[in-house]
Amino acid sequence: MSKAGKRVKSGTGSGGAKWEQALLSAQFEEDKWKANISFVVGKHPEDYTWIDILGATVASGPRKLFSVISKQQLEDEVKELGNPKGKKPKDVPQHYEVCEPCKIHLDQGTEIPLALLSRLIKYKLLAIKDKDIKRREQEKKDLLIKEELYYSLDDIEEENEGSYDKGVKEQVDQAQGFVKVA
């Protein structure tokens, strides 16, 4: 076995690799973040046409609260992040090290063992969770900015009490319509 294979070997003893211990101890569900995981599996070959359409709809973006994990997607991610000497993307997800031992199996043309596959799936679920938490934080920041803008425009309108020209009034009304918080 190569040095890389030995370096990232999945822990079979009591200790295990550092990444493996961190991944196994990582919390998936929290009080502030709950997941609903569903498996969509077809019984008939034509079912997979509908499953592909569902996956494409989720991937296109309008369903930001939905995510899809497929075998092909996992394999692509393993190929991208699994090379320890390869160049990594700018923002690698936490626990990406699980991709390294998975890549060894893919390169050899063997199936990823179930224990390792379960860790790979947990890694992907944690990456989805982190992405969603960041999205929610950004939405909160955007909402705060919109509220500040709304109240600032309100203050300007009160200070001027209609003494500014019609063009400015239209711009303020338009901005308030854009940022109004329900």
Q: Average pLDDT, whole number, for the chain?
A: 78
In contact, 88 and 159? CB cutoff 8 Å: no
8-39: pLDDT as tens digits: 444 444 446 788 888 888 888 888 888 888 88
Question: Given a cut of 70, is residue 4 above it in pLDDT?
Answer: no
Question: Given a cut of 50, is residue 182 above it in pLDDT?
Answer: no
State the pLDDT at residue 62.
73
**Buried-exposed string 26-36: b where 16+ CB fall within 10 A, e elsewhere:** eeeeeeeeeee
115-167: pLDDT as tens digits: 999 999 999 999 999 888 888 899 888 888 877 777 776 666 666 665 555 55
